[in-house]
Structure 1
C-alpha cells in the first residue's frame, strides 16, 4: 500500500473505478448538494476525483465542525503512544487536581475512554446539549467538570461536545501544549499539511465560535483549543487525515499513530461510535467517518481502500451525505 497520496489525477479505470459514474458527480452535487465546497476521493493511494464548488479551491480552508472531534481523538492516541498519557483508563479528574467541587463517586470513575466513546452522563437530554451556556462561561473546563456525572449511568451513549473539549484540556495538561500546537508538531506537519496559526480571539460571539469569523482553530477564553469543533482544514487535508487511518497510522513510511489505536478507535460496537468516529455496517460493508455539521465528512472505506472527503458550507439541515457516498462506492469496479 502507498504510504502517501499521489496528488496527480489518474484515470479512474487504472484504479478500478467507473469513469462514467464519476463524471456524473459534478451535476449531482450542483443540483442536490449545493452547499458542498469541495470533494476529494482517494482510492488505493491515488487521487481519483477532485472538484470544487461555490468559488472554492484546493487551498481554501473550511470550518469542519465536529470533524474536529476525530482529529482530537488522533491527538489523544499520539499522546498515549508518546507516553504523555498512560492509557484511556486514566481518570479524568486526575488531570485537574485544582478542581474542587462536591465530587461524587460516579464522577470519580469517569475515564478518558468514557469521554472518547461519549458514554459519560450529563444533566441534559441526549442531542440537546446547551452549547450556548458553555460558550458564555469564562472557564469552560470548570463548567464541564461541574456538569459531568449527572442524570444517568456511566456507559450509556450521550453525545457531548463539551466532553470532547475536556479531552483537549487533558491533552494540554499532559503535554504542556495546546491541541493546535501539539497537532502542528505531531500530526499536521508530518502529513504535509500547513501549520494552523495561533489566531488570538478577541470576541466569543456566534460568528467567532461557529460562523464567518472562524479561522485556524478556535480556542476558549483560557487558550484551550476547542475539542469538539472549530478546526479549519482544506479538503485535501481532510483526505490526508482519512488516508492516515486507512494506512494504519503510517505516512511516508513513518509511524504517526499506532495501529492499535486505530483499531480500537474504529472497532464496531452497539453504539455505532468508536473513539470520536461514527461507525456504520451496511450491506456487508464497514465504514467509519468523521462527521461535522453542515455536511462535512471524512468517510473511510477499508474494504475498498478509499477515502471520501467532503467540505461544506454550514447550513441548517443539509442533505444527508450517505446517499452520495453510496453512489461513489457503487463506482468501484
Structure 2
C-alpha cells in the first residue's frame, strides 16, 4: 500500500462507494449487532486502509481500551518476529530451555529439551492437560508462573500435535524478556506500538492475582505475573482502532509508512496455511476460496484480515460464555459487502 496518509495519528474515513463497499449492507450492521451480538463493545472496519465503518455500544467510545484476551497472543507473535530480526533471539528453532539456564530439568527428559520457540508459536508442544482443558487458574495461583509452566512443558503427548496453551504463550513473553531485558509491554511500546500510532500502553499495577485482577473489567494497560513478565496469553488492552492498525500492518506485510516494522518473511510464515489451520499464534481459515487469518480472543475479540479483499475487521467484546462466533457476522455482513 503506497500512500501519504497512513493512520499513524488519525484514521481517514473512506466513502464506501469509492471503496467498492455496499453502504446499505454496512448500515444493517448496527441492528444485527444489537440483536445477536449483544456483548460487542466496539467494531471498526477498514478497507484499502480507510475507515469505512465504526460503531460503539454500551456507552463505549473510540478512545476506550478493552481487554482483548487471547488477541494478546498474536501481538506476542509479532514481538518475537521483531526480536529475531533485531538479533535478540537467534531463530524460531532455538530451544526454549536455552533462555532459562537457571532451570534444571531432569536430564532424562529429552522431550522437554527438544522443544523450541517454533513449537510454542504453533501450539505443538505437549502438556499434561486434556485438549482445551488447560488449568489456567492453577498457573495464576503460583508465585512463579514460568517455573510452573516449564515443569508442565513436554509432559505426555508428543511434540508436533496441536494443543492450545495459554501458559505456552506466557513462556514466549518470558523468553522475550530474558533475551531483550524488557517486558513484552516495554518492547511492544518501543518496537511495535509507537511506530504505528498506538498510544503507549501503561504499566498495570497488580495489587493481587485473583480472577478480577487478571481478567476483570478493571484490567488496564497490560497485566503481568508476580515476576513482572507481561502476560503472554491475555491481558493486553487496546482500542478497536489500535486493533485495526495491527491488522493493517499485517495486511501490508509488516510495512508501515515505508518502514518495515515486522519482517515480511515473518508475516508470511505466521500466516502460511497448514493442516492445523494455526500459524504463529494466528488462526487461519480458507472458505469458498477466500483466505483469511485472525487474532481471536475469548468473548469474541477479533482482528480479522482478509488479504484478497484488503479488509480488516476489529471487534472488541465483553467476556461472556459461549458468545456467538464472529465469523458469521464478518463473512455475511462485512466481507459480503465488498462488491
TM-score in terms of structure 2 length: 0.97
Q: Secondary structure at the match of 1:307?
A: strand
Q: Which residue in the other structure is 1:43 paired with?
A: 47
Q: Which residue in the other structure is 1:19 paired with?
A: 23
Q: Give the total of aligned pairs.
A: 333
Q: Which residue in the other structure is 2:64 paired with?
A: 60
Contact 1:2 1:45 in 2 (8 A): no
**How far is 1:199 from its partner?**
1.9
Contact 1:2 1:44 in 2 (8 A): no
Q: 1:271 aligns with which of 276, 285, 296?
A: 276
Q: Which residue in the other structure is 1:331 paired with?
A: 337
Q: 1:82 aligns with which of 86, 95, 98?
A: 86
Q: Secondary structure at the match of 1:80?
A: helix
- Root mean square deviation of aligned Cα: 0.9
**How far is 1:10 from its partner?**
2.0
Q: Which residue in the other structure is 1:176 paired with?
A: 181
Q: Which residue in the other structure is 2:192 paired with?
A: 187
Residues in 1 aligned to 2:206 and 2:29: alpha-carbon distance in whole angstroms: 38
Contact 2:69 2:236 in 1 (8 A): yes
Q: 1:210 aligns with which of 194, 198, 215?
A: 215
Work out whether 1:73 is the aligned partner of 2:77.
yes
Q: Which 5+ residue runs of structure 2 have no aligned equivalent?
A: none
Q: How does 1:1-333 map to 2 (within 5 A)?
A: 1-2=1-2, 4-5=6-7, 7-103=11-107, 104-327=109-332, 328-333=334-339
Contact 2:204 2:219 in 1 (8 A): no
Residues in 1 aligned to 2:147 and 2:218: alpha-carbon distance in whole angstroms: 26
**How far is 1:2 from its partner?**
4.1
**How far is 1:8 from its partner?**
2.9
Residues in 2 aligned to 1:213 and 1:139: alpha-carbon distance in whole angstroms: 23
Residues in 2 aligned to 1:198 and 1:210: alpha-carbon distance in whole angstroms: 16
Q: Secondary structure at the match of 2:196?
A: coil
CA deviations on 1:261-312 (whole Å, 9 max, x unpaired) are 0000000000000000000011000000000001000000000011000000
Contact 1:219 1:226 in 2 (8 A): yes
Residues in 2 aligned to 1:130 and 1:45: alpha-carbon distance in whole angstroms: 40
TM-score in terms of structure 1 length: 0.99
Residues in 2 aligned to 1:323 and 1:159: alpha-carbon distance in whole angstroms: 23
Q: Secondary structure at the match of 1:261?
A: helix
| Moved segments of 4+, more than 3 Å | none
Residues in 2 aligned to 1:162 and 1:271: alpha-carbon distance in whole angstroms: 19
